[in-house]
Structure 1
Amino acid sequence: MDTVFLTSNTSWYLYNFRKATIRALQDKGYSVVCLSPLDEFSARLEDELGAKHVALPMVGKSTGLVQEMRSLLFIWQTFRHYRPVFVFNFTIKLNLYGGLVCNMLRIPFVNNISGLGTAFIHDSWLFRRVRQVYGLVNRRARHLFFQNEEDLAVFRDAGLLGKTPMTLLPGSGVDLDHFAFQSLPKETSITFVMIARLLGDKGVREYAGACRLLKERGVAVRCLLVGPLGVSNHSAVSEEEVAGWQGDGILEYRGATDDVRPVIAESHVLVLPSYREGMPRTVLEAAAMGRPSIVTDVPGCRQAIEAGKTGWLCEARSAESLAEQMLKFIAMREEDRQQAGVAARARMEASFSEARVVQAYLDCLAG
């Protein structure tokens, strides 16, 4: 049985965002191996999806030479042992390291550019070198997948593409049956929710700041925050910060969950003040359930909504701008909020089906 690898910097990502791809590959007769650091979702990849998991010794925020060489060597040893017929790389480090090893071992591979991440949001000598290597790897890929036109333009303008074929996809898509439409709650008090890894680059601190501004103005709202703490990333939000926000009564932290549907259902609007995205899955999932979103006017986020119809834009890195847009949503008529939710669902049905994304990956194997 031929083996196909999926690689990522977390098992959480593969389980939550690539579940349908894993199952589709298995249906085609492939043995699927997931290469990612060990976390609470690693066992679920095996127990629930029937994939094999190989624990990758990688620290997400590490830039130390010894640790990074250890990760690169492990990938080389793993691919050399399994000799996969194809590799799908997700997230920046695995695009780089997985792509380098695939090139050395002459294994066909695809890189999925699911956002530019820290290497493009910040600038330093190290991150400039990372971008150079990214370009070298991408030129050797069988195919490149992007999630928004602006990220594609950044890579093209920086000469990081070569002549590699590329496709623009709607993120990882959304399962329209699993995320079924639900009408907005009837409560008069508006509930906002942010669902994301707790990173500064996701705009978590701006969300907390906006919630604080609303509370200080005496606005009766609920502000929910959902997502994992302890993320290995330079911009990670600390547990102490979250405890402080809760202690001040400005938001309610719900922790991490592998089923966001209940918290979306009890909310009126999703908030994602991220600094940059590929195509934010939480916005798509909320839209499929009939929830509009307030997002920052940055690449990825602005493509995830139709501004003024299925969601609204605010300035990046500005709690004040976000709070202003949240106040505008509160002031809207109930029927206008409901219509925005209906339009969000319709847009998902028209252009963001998960089936389209999965088929694009299967087509790479045939090519």
Structure 2
Amino acid sequence: MAVVAPQSSPAVQRIAFVGPSGSAMRQWRELLFADVITRGHRVLAIAPEFASVDLASLDEIGAEHALMAPESHGPKLFADWKAIGALKATLAEWAPDVVVTFGGQMMVHGALAAKGIGAGRIVAVVDGLPEHRFAGALAADEMPAWRYGQALRAAHQAVFHNRDDLALLKKLGLVPASLPTIVVPGSGVDLERNASLPLPPLDHGLVFLMIGGLDRRRGVMEYCAAAAKLRERSPTSRFLLAVTPDEGAQAIDIAELQRSPDVEFLGLAEEEGELLTEAHVFVYPGYAEGMPQPILRALAAGRPVLVADAAGCREAVDTRVNGCLVEPRNPGALADAMESFLRRPDLIPAMARASRAKAERFESVAGVRGKLLQILQLA
């Protein structure tokens, strides 16, 4: 459905964002916070934890923050309602005009808390669904399907990061017919900040790169296992791995990655452009996200991409044109797909150009920002 038409708004609006972590808030800072504050409005970021770098990032642009960290022991449903109660108290004290809520479990909690205080406008951002798509066991930070239905019934607008997630929730009857919905590719593609990069020489062995969060659902361990399988077949190839902080419930210990003999562990990813400069092929076998930004940045850099055939990820690939799709959670299939690049490295330059062209067809950061401002009734 189309974005609802903007209406007249007060001179200053108070907009609260509820999310899973301070690092997630930093992504929203880049996408939206600064623009909202520049327009004269107030922003409050609410999350269970903030690192010092997160707080510094918010302070720099004049955004406020609040910590929401209720006790989580006891039965899950009881813990969920305690979390919602804590959010209601924080929101009631700040009295927002609009509440934007995202991040799986926090999206659900935030929408229900916002409804509980009678927030004038609630925007639910569905940026990913549970790993098994409601067909298997849930992780500690995942919510059952019916809770998504509760959140969407509480919302005045819903934003999805891929079409598959919207289609599944509609199929399950969880999206109210009257709820305006929109699909955007995560934060969009920034073609100016992520320039097309020349490929390294192809005559010294291929370099594969993965940049992903420290959560098993991002496919990091499958990448390490695939690298081990390929090491014997192609001793000159290199397998690089850089990670980003991740608040997921299936966290990986960095020490476990440092012990992998087949992967060059680079630590925390800082300058992703520099890492992509070294690589011929970008690998991202994650299977529980809405639209992973590392994939979009790799497309913009002009790198063939090898990703899991999962919601969101599959939208980045035209098979055998700019990359490959592989079965999720299958290191053997991933290794075979990586080996296909070893057998035909001559195809990489054309696939690299196709990836950049694919990035140019995705919606830009500015386009996504404009749609979100319209949804917030600030444009």
Give TM-score, length-normalised by structure 1. Answer: 0.90
Match of 2:372 in 1: 361
Q: Tell me, in whole angstroms, the C-alpha distance in 2 between the residues paired with 1:40 and 1:324.
A: 42
Q: CA deviation at 1:228?
A: 3.7
Residue 224 of structure 2 aligns with an amino acid whose one-letter code is A
Q: CA deviation at 1:273?
A: 0.9
Which of 332, 335, 344 is equivalent to 1:323?
335
Q: Is 9-18 or 352-361 further displaced after alignment?
A: 9-18
Match of 1:293 in 2: 305
Q: Deviations over 1:238-262 (max 9, x none)?
A: 33421321xxx20011222343221
Q: Is 346-355 or 114-123 further displaced after alignment?
A: 114-123
The yes-or-no answer on 1:212 pairing with 2:212 is no
Q: CA deviation at 1:292?
A: 1.7
Q: CA deviation at 1:90?
A: 1.4
Which of 264, 268, 289 is equivalent to 1:252?
264
The yes-or-no answer on 1:8 pairing with 2:24 is no
Alpha carbons of 1:61 and 1:14: their partners in 2 closer, same or farther (altered >3 Å)? farther
Alpha carbons of 1:176 and 1:18: their partners in 2 closer, same or farther (altered >3 Å)? farther
Match of 1:144 in 2: 158
Q: Is 39-48 or 249-258 further displaced after alignment?
A: 39-48
Q: Is 283-292 or 299-308 further displaced after alignment?
A: 299-308
| Residue pair 1:9, 1:58 contacting (<8 A) in 2 also | no
- Tell me, what secondary structure is at the counterpart of 1:255? strand
Alpha carbons of 1:61 and 1:180: their partners in 2 closer, same or farther (altered >3 Å)? farther
Flag structure 2 segments of 5+ consecutive residues without an equivalent: 1-11
Q: CA deviation at 1:31?
A: 1.2
How many residue pairs get matched? 362
The yes-or-no answer on 1:340 pairing with 2:356 is no
Q: Deviations over 1:39-71 (max 9, x none)?
A: 244223324333222222169999756654443
Which of 254, 257, 264 is equivalent to 1:239?
254
- Tell me, what secondary structure is at the counterpart of 1:254? strand
Residue 113 of structure 1 aligns with an amino acid whose one-letter code is V
Q: CA deviation at 1:237?
A: 2.0
Identical residues among aligned pairs (%): 27
Q: Tell me, in whole angstroms, the C-alpha distance in 1 between the residues paired with 2:62 and 2:14.
A: 13
- Tell me, what secondary structure is at the counterpart of 2:114? helix
The yes-or-no answer on 1:201 pairing with 2:187 is no
Q: Deviations over 1:174-194 (max 9, x none)?
A: 221111111111252211111
Flag structure 1 segments of 5+ consecutive residues without an equivalent: none
Match of 2:6 in 1: none
- Tell me, what secondary structure is at the counterpart of 2:307? strand
| Residue pair 1:61, 1:232 contacting (<8 A) in 2 also | no
Q: Tell me, in whole angstroms, the C-alpha distance in 2 between the residues paired with 1:259 and 1:59.
A: 36
The yes-or-no answer on 1:113 pairing with 2:126 is yes
Residue 35 of structure 1 aligns with an amino acid whose one-letter code is I
Q: Tell me, in whole angstroms, the C-alpha distance in 2 between the residues paired with 1:215 and 1:129.
A: 39
Q: Is 17-26 or 163-172 further displaced after alignment?
A: 17-26
Which of 55, 61, 73 is equivalent to 2:67?
55
Q: Tell me, in whole angstroms, the C-alpha distance in 1 between the residues paired with 2:280 and 2:139.
A: 42
- Tell me, what secondary structure is at the counterpart of 1:196? strand
| Residue pair 1:192, 1:224 contacting (<8 A) in 2 also | yes
Match of 2:4 in 1: none
Match of 1:272 in 2: 284
| Residue pair 1:62, 1:68 contacting (<8 A) in 2 also | no
Which of 168, 178, 181 is equivalent to 2:193?
178
| Residue pair 2:222, 2:331 contacting (<8 A) in 1 also | yes
Give runs of aligned pairs for residues 6-155 of structure 1, distance below 5 A. Answer: 6-16=17-27, 18-36=29-47, 37-57=49-69, 64=76, 68-107=80-119, 108-118=121-131, 120=133, 123-124=136-137, 130-155=144-169
- Tell me, what secondary structure is at the counterpart of 1:361? helix
Match of 1:307 in 2: 319
Q: Deviations over 1:198-225 (max 9, x none)?
A: 2221111111110000113243111111
| Residue pair 1:272, 1:296 contacting (<8 A) in 2 also | yes
Residue 351 of structure 1 aligns with an amino acid whose one-letter code is F
Q: Is 54-63 or 168-177 further displaced after alignment?
A: 54-63
- Tell me, what secondary structure is at the counterpart of 1:72? helix
Residue 271 of structure 2 aligns with an amino acid whose one-letter code is D
| Residue pair 1:119, 1:130 contacting (<8 A) in 2 also | no
Q: Deviations over 1:339-364 (max 9, x none)?
A: 22222122222223111111111111
Q: CA deviation at 1:113?
A: 1.0
- Tell me, what secondary structure is at the counterpart of 1:48? helix
Which of 150, 157, 165 is equivalent to 2:180?
165
- Tell me, what secondary structure is at the counterpart of 1:74? helix
- Tell me, what secondary structure is at the counterpart of 1:313? strand
Q: Tell me, in whole angstroms, the C-alpha distance in 1 between the residues paired with 2:333 and 2:242.
A: 21
Q: Tell me, in whole angstroms, the C-alpha distance in 2 between the residues paired with 1:343 and 1:2.
A: 43
- Tell me, what secondary structure is at the counterpart of 1:347? helix
Q: Is 14-23 or 79-88 further displaced after alignment?
A: 14-23
| Residue pair 2:211, 2:269 contacting (<8 A) in 1 also | no
- Tell me, what secondary structure is at the counterpart of 2:154? coil
| Residue pair 2:191, 2:300 contacting (<8 A) in 1 also | yes
Residue 18 of structure 2 aligns with an amino acid whose one-letter code is T
Alpha carbons of 1:178 and 1:253: their partners in 2 closer, same or farther (altered >3 Å)? same
Match of 1:227 in 2: 243
